[in-house]
A and B are shown apart, each in its own frame.
Chain A
Amino acid sequence: MNLEEYKGVYVFAQQVDNQLSSISFELLGKAKELAADLKEQVTAVLIGYKVKDLADQLAEYGADKVIVVDDPELETYRTEPYAHALASVINQYKPDIMLVGATAIGRDLGPTVSARVATGLTADCTKLDIGDFPLVAIPGKEAEQKHNQLLMTRPAFGGNTIATIACPDNRPQMATVRPGVMQKIEPIKGAKAVVEEYNPGFTPNNKYVTIKEVVKAVSDVADIMDAKILVSGGRGVGSPENFKLLEDLAEALGGQVSCSRAVVDSGWKPKDLQVGQTGKTVRPQLYFAIGISGAIQHVAGMEESDLIIAINKDEDAPIFDVADYGIVGDLNKIVPQLTEKIKAMKAAK
């Protein structure tokens, strides 16, 4: 493998139902920074059926070039035709870096493609930088230190440790990136990218599965990852009915309700409201943690919030270790009064 042949920062532009996912723009935002460091270009790989129209949007969010793989086989995500599409693009265009969202799609596509093109893949990254590997040259072996490497940082052990990983001898350097962590750029209206169509040909084989049915969850709730204020409840809320207290508070604040894993496991709230390691990563301006003990897996999904206020009756709850303000007390008494107080404050304005 001649590593010098591999150039450019590529992102997998995930779309579902011909709508680009938020992660695609987040990846472009980060790719633009990495490309600036490397003095290379940002290329989005857009895979689907009748998706070419989305290229302009990718340009507005930072893509210099868009490679479109458009084929009827790609209408709905399936591992095989998508893996074939992305692996073929990699083999044809030889990217230096290939970023994929750590979504339910990307965490299936990424590993399959990395195994196919025989390179490393670092999962669920929360930080990406360009730097040296090893970080510090080994004395006497300075010439062996590699520069301009992608340094991929990710949590492990349920968020207890953090590791920075490099892929020095294989290309592309591949990472899946946790949604909600990287920042999109302010879209540049009217920006255009070079659009190139590429079709490697799709011949169904044993790896093509059949989609018998697509069942969409009926949800009128906005994505908690986009919320500015979250009122999050845990097992301590006590019952699904008692979440009404949190809903009222969220409404008074103009925010949304989210929850911990325990609440989802108990069947009180749907999975798409779950914050944490196996749920969503959120970084709102204000995060209320109410009746949430603060298991490390939960904290991993919310600790980047600007302001964290915790209410818990257990003085030793670990949530108090990450909260900016911790209130030891009974949520059943505090929350309804707080709701009234906030309503009064807003009315007084």
Chain B
Amino acid sequence: MKVIVCVKQVPDTKGGVKFNADGTLDRAAMLAIMNPDDKAGLEAALRLKDQYGAEVTVLTMGLPKAADVLKEAIAMGADKGILVTDRVLGGADTWATSTTIAGAIRNLEYDLIITGRQAIDGDTAQVGPQIAEHLGIPVISYAQDIKIDGDKVIVQRQYDDRYHMLEAKMPCLITALSELNEPRYMTPGGIFDACAAEITTWGRADLKDVDDSNLGLKGSPTKIAKASDKVRKGAGEKVVPESPEDAVSFIADKLAEKHII
């Protein structure tokens, strides 16, 4: 069984968001990490490796330094890493990104493709389903549990107020929720393997059956008209009451003032 896991290197927005003096996001000061949903997808693939001896290939698209997340994945137990990087692929929206990744995957054999549901930088949740569409395979999004049954995959698919147990014939693409599992840590042996591992690097020329007009910034149907830092409404009144009683009267007064009570 062959599993491809698509991962993305993202700035860590959780807890450690840093700003420049002018109020813009200081990306250089933020750690670059493996996207959390993708990491859960990787863990799911590694469990399939533990259980069924699946071969796990991790694939990412990004700048050359994105190779770091592939090394991390290998240190966790993945078998090989493929980095898709090329200047002409830069500035891609989800359409151009999914076209690129599908073009890379067409070179590979696979039974299952796992992506994270969404990345914490763009939060779109679009690339996974779009890769499946380009490849002509079924997609199951928002997976909370993945099981294999012969040539089929059985997935618990989350919705707002329910879940569906779905069965699909492989090959199939699944998007993973970070709730799926608790990803394992890198092992010392794995880190040793990762250091020795050679990352395969592919460029534009290695993409199969894709048209230049669908790649990079030029091939992106969506265009950014404006981007700015979010203007927050700003802090109101902050008090440090001397006693709980003072705090209670303060709140009660405000609620009465606003006609809530």
**Measuring CB to CB, which residues of chain A are less than 8 angstroms from any residue of chain B?**
16, 76-80, 83, 103-105, 107-108, 110-112, 114-116, 118-124, 133-135, 151, 155-170, 206-217, 219, 229, 253, 272, 277, 285-286, 295-297, 299, 303, 307-309, 311, 315, 320-330, 333-334, 337-338, 341-342, 345-346
Q: Are A115 and B98 in contact (CB under 8 A)?
A: yes
Per-residue contact bits, chain B 121-140, to A (CB 8 Å; 1 contact, 0 not): 11111111110111011111
Q: Are A121 and B223 in contact (CB under 8 A)?
A: no
List residues of chain A with CB within 8 A of the CB of B228.
161-163
Q: Are B162 and A215 in contact (CB under 8 A)?
A: yes
Chain A residue with the shortest CB-CB distance to B168: A209
Q: Are A215 and B238 in contact (CB under 8 A)?
A: no
Known contacts: A108-B142, A164-B224. The answer to whether A326 contacts B239 by CB under 8 A is yes
Q: Which listed residue (A122, A296, A333) contacts B13, Cβ 8 A? A: A296
Distance between B30 CB and nearest chain A CB, rounded to angstroms: 10
Q: Are B13 and A209 in contact (CB under 8 A)?
A: no
Q: Are A216 and B166 in contact (CB under 8 A)?
A: no
Q: Are B225 and A111 in contact (CB under 8 A)?
A: no
A-B contact pairs, 12 of them (CB 8 A): A76-B164, A111-B127, A114-B126, A119-B95, A135-B226, A212-B154, A215-B164, A217-B161, A219-B161, A295-B14, A325-B237, A345-B261
Q: Are B229 and A214 in contact (CB under 8 A)?
A: no
Closest 4 CB pairs of A and B: A120-B221, A115-B133, A120-B222, A123-B124
Distance between B25 CB and nearest chain A CB, rounded to angstroms: 5
Q: Which listed residue (A83, A166, A321, A327) contacts B225, Cβ 8 A? A: A166
Q: Are B252 and A341 in contact (CB under 8 A)?
A: yes
Known contacts: A121-B95, A121-B222, A163-B226. The answer to whether A315 contacts B164 by CB under 8 A is no
Q: Which of B123, B127, B161, B222 has the most CB of A within 10 A?
A: B222
Q: Are B230 and A155 in contact (CB under 8 A)?
A: yes
- Judge if B255 is at the interface, Cβ distance under 8 Å: yes
List residues of chain B with CB within 8 A of the CB of A115.
95, 98, 129-130, 133-134
Contacting A at CB under 8 A, from B91-131, are 93-95, 98, 120-130
Number of A-B contacts (CB under 8 A): 259
Q: Chain A interface: which of B47-55, B82-90, B186-194, B242-250?
A: B242-250
Per-residue contact bits, chain B 207-237, to A (CB 8 Å; 1 contact, 0 not): 0000000000000111111111110111111
Q: Are A326 and B238 in contact (CB under 8 A)?
A: yes
Q: Are B94 and A121 in contact (CB under 8 A)?
A: yes
Q: Are B236 and A211 in contact (CB under 8 A)?
A: no
Chain A residue with the shortest CB-CB distance to B229: A161
Chain A residue with the shortest CB-CB distance to B259: A285
List residues of chain A with CB within 8 A of the CB of B126.
107, 110-111, 114, 121, 123
Q: Which listed residue (A83, A308, A327) contacts B241, Cβ 8 A? A: A327
List residues of chain A with CB within 8 A of the CB of B25.
157, 160-161
Chain B residue with the shortest CB-CB distance to A228: B260
Chain A residue with the shortest CB-CB distance to B252: A341
Distance between A296 CB and nearest chain B CB, rounded to angstroms: 6
Chain B residue with the shortest CB-CB distance to A108: B141
A277 to B14, CA, bound (A): 12
- Judge if B184 is at the interface, Cβ distance under 8 Å: no
Q: Are B232 and A321 in contact (CB under 8 A)?
A: yes
A16 to B126, CA, bound (A): 22
List residues of chain B with CB within 8 A of the CB of A334.
244, 247-248, 251
- Judge if B150 is at the interface, Cβ distance under 8 Å: no
Chain A residue with the shortest CB-CB distance to B231: A162
